[in-house]
Amino acid sequence: MSKKIVVIGGSAAGPKAASKARRMDENAEITIIQKASDLSMASCGYPYYIGGFFDDRDQLLCSPAGVIRDSRFFWNAKKIETKVRCEVQSIDRKKKTVNYINLENGEKNIQPYDKLIIATGATPRKPQIPGIDLDGITTLQSLQDADYLRKVRDEGKIKKAVVIGGGLIGIETCEALNLAGIEITLVEMLPQLLTFLDDQMAKIVEKYVQTKANVILKNGVSAFIGKEGKLTAVKLQNGTEIPCELAVLAIGVTPNSKLAADAGLETGATGGIKVNGYMQTDDPDIYAVGDCIEINNLISGISVHAPYGDLANLQGRVAGENVISGNVKKFPGVIQSGICKVFDYGVGAIGLSEQNAVKAGITDIETVINASLDKPGFMQGKLLITKLVVKKEDGRIIGAQVIGPGDVSKQLAIWAMAIKAKFNVEDMVNADLPYAPPFSLAIDHSIATAHIMQNKLSGKMQGINASQLKNSVKQKENLFLLDVRNPNEFEVLRLGLGEVLIPLGQLRKRLNELPEDKNTPIVTWCKISLRGYEAALILKANGYKNVRVLEGGIMSWPYTLEK
């Protein structure tokens, strides 16, 4: 007799699980029950549709061959029955049925299953504050949200918008609406954007985003203000009112696990459904995948909510095979990789930031910031800034953040592989990556980052980061500040902290210009701090005992520069 596979949810993880199950078993009866009216929506593409990167909405719903993935497509190409606009109301685990309602006509039905896959996704958080139901307030989660915001673009009437939340979706929404010609204010409750970044990295991104939008940090929304039912302003917790006709809420999502919890399935501290490596819940006949679950972080060992489209697909594929073949495939967990485009910048992180490592109880860490071009200057190389996080004990790489106009995506992919492989720094210093000038530097940025980390771990280099330096200067600590670039570079741009300029090439001859007291704390730097490092070595060889290098040099300085 053919197996009955029922999948709840038809966005990403669900259809993938159903399709994989079909490929494993031509004879299974496979049904997807989907609350929305669309199927297999490319929801990660919504910001780009809104931003006008493409105009054909169908592209969000198409297979690579250009066919819309509707119920007919699923039936004809995959023999998968899809019940759209149908909402599952309960799961009867004893009878092995789900009860669902047709949202079009109110009809209630029962669907039996041998194996059930829950892929109910997540819902954007909405703060319960005054005015939340005004016209002009939206999230960016559903295709209907995307349609609404695309209409805003096409109509061109709205001039000012507030985006609430400085995470991935918030940042992507900023770009999309800016490209739609709308003046944006981005409001974030925390002291920084993008919490997968450490503060200095986030600060650099913030400085860049400020050139496109008004960024307000450490401030939440206390109310939405309206007139005749329409939004007219956003009121912040500090009392500021920002006039606007549109507000987009992007303050995170909550896993849709209520259906599972109501059926007695275990959920975790994140609110996500608990699953084992086979993507199986504590009911052996029920699997769960995608944004509604929580999953093991392979670095910290902590269960996390990781609502990413790529993971949803991979998890769906694992569950789709296991429901047919028994538990034969495992999803190993996540290292948490995130990337987003912010205008001409790529911004992303793999694994743990320094801040998140500390939160996870991993405190014996070393970090380094490296700035360089992604390829040679003569090939129009663009800037990359990387912060690498490793365990001091064994140099094991546990996190990397990369930002900049350069090829961020490749760098992050390299670190994702390094972390998955449990590489330590020594594994990376002689990595054999493909090199040609159109694609990278002779020593790739990732490898150079490992080199600097190696120098730090071995005690050859002592670093100081931008916020530490800024703080020391603010505290009027007795520091000798040494910029070792060339006069023409200094002329154009400098930190302006009272630093002395001695070009590296003159340093050995001009050591008499340095403090006599060899214990004086000295900080050296250059554009990216390679010369700064060489300068520090010269000073140390000449008896200076307290020399640090400003990591990432001037290119990674997140504060105002003197011009």
| Subset of 314-353 contacting its own copies (CB under 8 A) | 314, 317-318, 331-332, 334-341, 346, 348, 350
Could you identify the residue written with the tokens 């040679």? Answer: 376
| Piece in contact with its own copies (CB under 8 A), picked from 106-114, 353-361, 388-396, 437-445 | 437-445
Q: Output the DSSP codes for 139-202.
A: ES-SHHHHHHHHHHHHH----EEEEE--SHHHHHHHHHHHHTT-EEEEE-SSSSS-TTS-HHHH
Distance, CA of 226 to CA of 130 (rounded, Å): 10
- 504: its two tokens: 């590296």
Q: CB nearer to its own copies: give 97 or 454.
A: 454
Q: Which stretch binds its own copies (CB under 8 A): 90-98, 156-164, 200-208, 422-430?
A: 422-430
Per-residue binding letters, 270-309, with its own copies (x by CB under 8 A): --------------------------------------xx
If binding is defined by CB under 8 A, does position 93 make contact with its own copies? no
Mapped onto helix, strand or coil, the DSSP state of residue 65 is coil
Residue among 17, 286, 373, 384 that touches its own copies (CB under 8 A): 373
Residue 101 or 443: the one with the smaller Cβ distance to its own copies is 443
Residue located via tokens 């974030």: 188
Taking alpha carbons only, the member of 447, 439, 437 closest to residue 397 is: 447
416 is a contact residue toward its own copies (CB under 8 A): yes
Identified binder of its own copies from the candidate list 130, 376, 496, 515, rule CB under 8 A:
376
Touching its own copies, residues 487-506 (CB under 8 A): 489, 504-506
Contact 84, 36 (CB under 8 A): yes
Residue 155 half-sphere exposure toward CB, CA atoms < 13 A: 9
What is the number of other CB atoms lying within 10 angstroms of the CB of residue 78? 18
> What are the C-alpha distances in Å from 474 to residues 218, 467, 498?
22, 10, 12
- Using alpha carbons, select from 548, 365, 339, 405 the residue that is nearest to residue 464: 548
Q: How far apart are CA 425 and CA 296, in angstroms?
A: 24
243, 111 contact by CB (below 8 A): no
Of the candidate residues 207, 223, 427, 521, the single one contacting its own copies (CB under 8 A):
427
Q: What is the largest CA-CA distance in the chain?
A: 90
Residues numbered 216 to 235 that lie near its own copies (CB under 8 A) are none
Side chain identity at residue 413, one-letter code: A
Residue 264 CB, nearest distance to its own copies (Å)? 29
| Touching its own copies, residues 460-479 (CB under 8 A) | 460
In terms of CB distance, is 263 or 408 closer to its own copies? 408
Number of residues that bind its own copies (CB under 8 A): 104
Task: Choose the binding region for its own copies from 198-206, 216-224, 256-264, 442-450 (rule: CB under 8 A).
Answer: 442-450
Is the Cβ of residue 236 or residue 412 nearer to its own copies in the bound state? 412
Which of 140-148, 267-275, 383-391, 421-429 is the region at the interface with its own copies (rule: CB under 8 A)?
Answer: 421-429
Cα angle 503-506-509, degrees, rounded to a multiple of 5:
145
Within 155-174, the residues that bind its own copies by CB under 8 A are 168, 172
Shortest Å, Cβ 99 to its own copies: 30
Binding of its own copies by 310 (CB under 8 A): yes
The distance of closest approach from Cβ of residue 47 to its own copies in the complex, given in angstroms and rounded to an integer, is 8
Output the CA angle 413-416-419, nearest 5 degrees. Answer: 150
Tell me which stretch binds its own copies (CB under 8 A): 86-94, 225-233, 355-363, 529-537.
529-537
Rounded to the nearest 10 degrees, how much is the dihedral formed by the CA atoms of 456, 460, 466, 470? Answer: 140
Q: Is 472 helix (H, G, I), strand (E, B) or coil?
A: helix
- Check residue 534 and report its DSSP letter: H
Q: Binding of its own copies at residue 443 (CB under 8 A)? A: yes
Residue 36 Cα to chain centre, angstroms:
26
Rg (CA), the chain: 27
Regarding 145 and contact with its own copies (CB under 8 A), the answer is: no
Q: Which is nearer to its own copies, 239 or 434 (CB)?
A: 434
108 or 510: whose CB is closer to its own copies?
A: 510
Q: Considering only residues 46-85, where is the footprint of its own copies by CB under 8 A? A: 48-49, 53-54, 56, 59-60, 62, 64-67, 73, 76-79
Footprint (CB under 8 A) of its own copies, residues 101-130? none
Which one-letter DSSP state was computed for residue 11? S
Q: Does 510 bind its own copies (CB under 8 A)?
A: no
CB of 487: closest distance to its own copies in angstroms? 12
To its own copies, the closest distance from the beta carbon of 408 in angstroms equals: 8
